[in-house]
Amino acid sequence: MPWLYVVPWIFLLLGIAPLWFYPQRDVLYPGLAYLMAALILTGVASLYNRTSAVALVRGCWVLGLGLMAYTLATYASLSLTILPGFYEGTAAVAALGAGIALLCGLYFLQRRETPPLPILRQESYRERGGAMNRAALMALAPSLEPLAAARPMMLLMLQTPPDQSPEPIMQTLRGPDLVFHLGDGRYLLILQEGGPQAVAPVFKRLKQNLNIQAYAALPYEGGPLDKALGQLEAELEHIYLTQPGI
């Protein structure tokens, strides 16, 4: 919604409009202080339209800050001019609406929903043994990236002998974890639950069943998946022996 940045400025103009229609007071304080605060809030509200949050969250934030700016602008008008009493009521209603809008934005930010991972049924996405291949990883990337932004994951890359079968790896993992065979004995595991603490127990179970020549782990919180893969592969190239004691 590129037009959303205009909304706070409309609220500001509505709040200071009485300055042109009602008689002025002789005092400038605290009216000018309220007016400066309203201008700052209006600018901040406009900038929130450019944040990376989802549209619903941005809308709530811009609306809430815009209503706060209207409240301060109305108090500025009340201090600088002689206004009817109902303007105080509009300021109170706007302040209440601002609080509700900001709380709704926070709620939607915490409870934002991401689409579930699609099920890849094509045989071209799977190899012998049931593990998915690199093509499947790229097909899932558009869904994995926003999902990781909402619920961080762990990426674990393993280097095993070229003839390593994926069955022992798949039997070791639990729940929604994913296994991808990237070729030449290299596997990528995406651990969707447990965070960084999930890596150690998974790796210990894998060591009991696999000949792991090298490994690399990386927290993944969204962003381009191919960039995270490049970082893991670069790290794996510099590791020749599995670190003990993980």
pLDDT greater than 90 at residue 98: yes
The pLDDT of residue 241 is 47
Q: Where does residue 91 rank: exposed (0-12), middle (13-18), buried (19+ CB within 10 A)? A: buried
Name the band, by pLDDT with cuts 50, 70 and 90, for residue 86: confident
Give the list of residues 6+ apart from residue 157 with CB closer than 8 angstroms, or none. Answer: 182, 186, 187, 188, 189, 215, 216, 217, 218, 232, 233, 236
Percent of the chain predicted with pLDDT > 70? 91
Does residue 156 sit in the same domain as residue 177?
A: yes
Is 47 a member of any domain? yes
Does residue 40 sit in the same domain as residue 81?
A: yes
Is 163 a member of any domain? yes
Domain that holds residue 100: 2-110
Domain C-terminal end among 87, 110, 133: 110
Is 216 a member of any domain? yes
Domain C-terminal end among 89, 110, 131: 110
Average per-residue pLDDT in the chain?
85
Domain C-terminal end among 88, 110, 132: 110
Backbone angles phi, psi at 41, to 5 degrees: -65, -35
Name the band, by pLDDT with cuts 50, 70 and 90, for residue 111: low
Is 94 a member of any domain? yes
Does residue 154 sit in the same domain as residue 232?
A: yes
CA torsion angle 36 37 43 48 (round to 10): 180
Is 130 a member of any domain? yes
CA atoms within 13 A on the CB side of 115: 9
Number of folded domains that form the chain: 2
Name the band, by pLDDT with cuts 50, 70 and 90, for residue 67: very high
Q: Domain containing 147 — which CATH number?
A: 3.30.70.270
Is 90 a member of any domain? yes
Closest CA to 81 of 15, 8, 37: 15
pLDDT greater than 60 at residue 243: no
pLDDT greater than 50 at residue 42: yes
Name the band, by pLDDT with cuts 50, 70 and 90, for residue 41: very high
pLDDT greater than 90 at residue 72: yes
Percent of the chain predicted with pLDDT > 90? 32
